[in-house]
Amino acid sequence: MPKPITIQDIKVILTQPGKSRLCVVKVITSEPGLYGLGCATFTQRIFAVATAIERHLKPFLLGRDVDRIEEIWNMSLVHGYWRNGPVLNNAISGVDQALWDIKGKRAGMSVCDLLGGKSREAAQVYVHADGRDKEEVLDNVRAFMGQGYRFIRVQLGGYGGQGSPMVKPRNAPPGAYFDPRDYCRRTLDMIAFVREQVGDEVELLHDIHERLAPIHALAFAKDVEPFKLFFLEDALAPEDIAWFRLIRGQCATPLAMGELFNNPQEWQLLIQERLIDFIRMHISQMGGITPARNVAIFAGQYGIRTAWHGPSDTSPVGHAANLQLDLWHPNFGVQEWYRPSELDYAIFPGLPVVQDGYLYPNDQPGLGIDIDEGLAAKYPCQDFVEQWTQTRLPDGGPARP
């Protein structure tokens, strides 16, 4: 019987080629030259994830058989006893994705082929069109349409419509202020305007980003229904998911949810009761490819499509993992795409490319992506305190991000 290939070392690579701090895990094996990459990016707590990997997961996993992905994932989850939190899930994801990458390289197959093969040749993607006013949003939508994109998320003034005039109390603390009621009025007007101008030839999406009280999110979902969104994203916070029953019962606006989810209890109810139309977890936040595969199969049984989270604070390795899942699963819906910079492509050879609104894989095995560690090291992660998640209501009270 051949000697198993084992985990010889686990390396954490932190880099920041853009605004987001990224965490990539490199699992080095006992087979010379064989390694895998995985995404463990929780950008707001990037150093906590790095420490969890280096001080806890690495000592636990050294010497283990790289083929035993299921066992490693499950034992890593319970080894810390408390589980399903974002730091540990991301740490586990980095290793999990890297092990899938290794398995694909050993087999000479893509991860998509390991999962069962392609259901499509490329994944349709959506991009973000923002603007200070509705005319600027429209201009950006038309620019993206000119580049071949057919799915476009429209936002006005960022999440929550920041920048609208408001009266704050004296000595109000600093923060990312927004007015929920003003956001609703102005955003509905913007969506109506864009839809009237571009017609039905493009799919429009919008992200509430959990900024509204549940009753106001319900009203917004009803008010936006005539404009035929492809989906309305994050109408509610994870703590309020029971309200999806009321939204579903009162309108036909397609709903997408999941990027903040860590625990299966958060997505199981929504899938089983068919309360949403798209499931869109952050793959590293939920623990990697292994749980994402399971959720995709589970959701598919209920006719719910995938739309994995794909912002700039998913590393390029994570985007490569998203694409492998997109190509494989029959119930894929659409993939969020952050439009990488030239520097991203230089640091991460093999990063997928978009043509005519479709994201295409390459012909390399595993995840099909690599990292130039020397170049990545020239862009170290910066120490700073996140500002955009310090959201506040007009009276200065804290709000969800």
**CA 323 and chain centroid, separation:** 12
Q: Is the dihedral of CA 385, 388, 394, 398 positive or negative?
A: negative
CB 202 within 8 A of CB 145: yes
- Which positions are catalytic? 159, 209
Using CA atoms of 50, 311, 125, 120 in order, give the dihedral in degrees to the nearest 10.
Answer: 10
DSSP reduced 3-state for 222: helix
Please count the residues of the chain: 401
Contact 279, 306 (CB under 8 A): yes
Strand-strand pairing, 123-129 and 358-360: antiparallel
Please name which of 333, 323, 324, 322 lies closest in space to residue 300, comparing C-alpha atoms: 333
How far is 66 from 99, CA to CA, in rounded Å?
Answer: 6
CB within 8 Å of 38: residues ≥ 6 apart: 24, 25, 27, 93, 94, 95, 96, 97, 98, 99, 100, 101, 284, 288, 317, 321
Residue recorded with tokens 């920048």: 163
Q: Which residues pair with 368 in a beta bridge?
A: none
User: How many other C-beta atoms are found inside a 10 Å radius of the C-beta of residue 52?
Assistant: 24
- 315 three-class SS: coil
